[in-house]
Homo-oligomer: A and B are copies of this chain.
Amino acid sequence: MIEGRALIGGIRQLNKSFVSADDVAKRAGVSRSAVSRTFTPGASVSDETRQRVMAAAQALGYHVNQLARGLMRSESGIVCLVVSEMDTPYRARLVRALTHELQRAGKISMLINTDRSDGSVDAALRQTLHYRADASILLSGLPDKAITKLCLDSGQRIVLINRDDEIDGPFRINLDDGHAARVTVSAFLRAGCRHLALANSAVGTPSLMARERGFVAAAAEFGLDVTVVRHGNTVYESGRKIAQTLFAEPKQPDAVFCVNDLMAFGLMDGARHDFGLRIPEDVCVVGFDDIEQAAWASYALTTFSQPVDEIVKNSIAWLANHGGESQPEVRSINLHAPMIWRKSIRGMQRPIS
């Protein structure tokens, strides 16, 4: 009754003094354990007791304290999302979908931003260890291998999306980047293109490099050289910059595969506004990710769709399956990124992939 535990209207309490199971027990005239059991899914409580407990809980505004519960149970219910540059369209979509499904599964997601490696990242990540997160999901981006190891060492289950940390333990989800690259080459050739180019970023993450290698290799099979340009980050401005380089050369490419959509948009705008080129008449363009903007009329970009729903489904399924003792058997999975055919390649609209 002292120190602000006074109840206003029977519901709201002041001074951050929360209602505890003890309070509920007293009011309901039962024991703490009865209250606990009432809020534990696989319970063993008589209907009458449950009724009384629920009534008391309702009246007092009682919420189970997960902090305390997590102390006893092995699971905290927390899943940690580690991501850099999360306002990038593809990443934002992934984070949204993951969060949504996670909370449908009764989990709660903690967000760790790894934009800068200035120690604040490290601190934040350490935070989640402090909270005894059940698992971490590492999205593509900056986070380095040390982070993976740190999470792993603290006993978390880990999902790696589009990453390549060759550490044992995590579940890996990757895309068939090489296949996409080959499909692109063949689409370009069927459109009559002969001067192929590839726009990549300078960051050189594994999936980006896989796309580059696949593209160059597939072109080589047809005896074609590829002009490869790598610049900056995987952002719009890099694509635009690459356009400046590519189209200023005497031998202008007539087909460019950009390793992601953002760069493709920059490249398209560069080609159009800086060089007066038409797409797809003068130059064909293909991107990767199928972010929302790819469908906008100004771009109508032919690209490869990130199977976000599949990624999320697989992540959560793996997390759910391996809650128990069983040794994780499946270590990685390869998902298909289907081609989305729009208007940035000339000729027949015939998807192949």
Contacts and interface: CB of A to CB of B under 8 A. Distances in A.
B128 A100 contact: no
Contacts of A95: 86-87, 111
A71 B61 contact: no
Interface in A8-23: 11-18
A50 interface: no
A289 B85 CA distance: 19
A265 interface: yes
Interface stretch (A29-37, A102-110, A210-218): A102-110
A41 to B, nearest CB: 13
Contact of A109 (B111, B123, B292): B111
Contact of A110 (B64, B110, B124): B110
B96 A124 contact: no
Interface stretch (A51-59, A73-81, A180-188, A244-252): A73-81
The winner among A14, A77, A129, A266 for most chain B CB atoms within 10 A is A129
A189 to B, nearest CB: 28
A280 to B, nearest CB: 15
Contacts of A17: 155
Given A63-B154, A272-B297, A297-B273, A100 B129 contact: no
Interface in A42-99: 61, 63-71, 74, 76-77, 81, 85-89, 92-93, 95-96, 99
Contacts of A15: 155
Contacts of A268: 298
Contacts of A12: 153
Contact of A131 (B67, B71, B121, B269): B67
Interface string A238-272: 00100000000000000000000000011011101
B86 A96 contact: yes
A68 B131 CA distance: 9
Contacts of A81: 111
A318 interface: no
Interface stretch (A112-120, A170-178, A220-228): A112-120
A36 B156 CA distance: 24
5 contacts: A63-B154, A66-B67, A67-B76, A68-B71, A104-B120
Interface of A: 11-18, 61, 63-71, 74, 76-77, 81, 85-89, 92-93, 95-96, 99-100, 103-104, 106, 108-113, 115, 120-121, 123-124, 126-132, 153-155, 236, 240, 265-266, 268-270, 272-273, 292-293, 296-299
